[in-house]
Amino acid sequence: MSTKIITVSREFGSGGRTIGKEAAQRLGVPYYDKELVKQVALESGFDPKFIEEHGEFAPGKSRFAYAFLNSTFPGTINNLSAADFLWTIQYKVIRELAEQGPCVIVGRCADYILRDRSDCLHTFIHADMDFRSDRIVRLYGESEASPEKRLMDKDAKRRVNYRHYTDREWGMAQNYHLTLNSGVLGIERCVQLLVELAQQG
């Protein structure tokens, strides 16, 4: 395997984003998370016509509430919900970013979107509830009232979203080349493992 692209899926609060960002920095490659991918998509000037021409990427209509793109593109677009519209754009953007060269991509089902490429290292970062609860309270200023509920809600949303768009189970080891418990192994060691595997690849 020659690794050029690392994808990082993660449980909320596990430090997956931090691990991906730090690994990208040490490897000297671009880092993209879902916000950056969204921004790139919008700045790229994609419009509904583009989506019409690339409808084969659309995985079907979402049953979920119309998402944050609604403010930009109200209602449905070529019978796609806003969530599906965004998925379609991001699918295309992630494919194109991968074509540009080595990078780290966090989130957005990138492991699935790039599953046919042989130059990727697909990873999943998770941790126990205590580790994640402590982390989101400490770093994100989340309410201490029920960080566990917040974690379970976020995990559930990611699980449902992943299943909807990929028809696979979120967190199944078989979807990834490497999965790590960041709470047990430590954030720093997880970064090192990603960097070593990418460099040796």
Q: Smallest gap, in angstroms, from Cβ of residue 24 to a second copy?
A: 20
Q: Smallest gap, in angstroms, from Cβ of residue 146 to a second copy?
A: 20
**Which of positions 152-181 make contact with a second copy (CB under 8 A)?**
171-174, 176-181
93/106 with CB nearer a second copy: 106
- In this structure, the strands spanning 31-32 and 178-181 are unpaired
Instruction: Return the exposure string of 45-66: e unless at least 16 CB atoms fall within 10 Å of the residue's CB, then b.
Output: ebeeeebeeeeeebeeebeeeb
Q: Does 189 bind a second copy (CB under 8 A)?
A: yes
- Amino acid at site 148: E
87/124 with CB nearer a second copy: 124
**Span of 22-30, 33-41, 68-76, 183-191 interacting with a second copy by CB under 8 A:** 183-191
- What is the C-alpha to C-alpha distance for residues 122 and 163, in angstroms, rounded to an integer? 17
Angle between helices 34-43 and 82-100 in degrees, nearest 10:
90
**Span of 40-48, 70-78, 105-113, 186-194 interacting with a second copy by CB under 8 A:** 186-194
- What is the C-alpha to C-alpha distance for residues 16 and 9, in angstroms, rounded to an integer? 7
Interface mask toward a second copy for 116-135; x: CB under 8 A: --------x-x---------
How many other C-beta atoms are found inside a 10 Å radius of the C-beta of residue 197? 17
**Which of positions 64-103 make contact with a second copy (CB under 8 A)?**
none
Instruction: Return the exposure string of 117-133: e unless at least 16 CB atoms fall within 10 Å of the residue's CB, then b.
Output: eeebbbbbbbbeeebbb
**Which of positions 9-28 make contact with a second copy (CB under 8 A)?**
11
Q: Smallest gap, in angstroms, from Cβ of residue 159 to a second copy?
A: 11
Interface positions with a second copy (CB under 8 A): 1, 11, 124, 126, 171-174, 176-181, 184-186, 189, 193, 197, 200
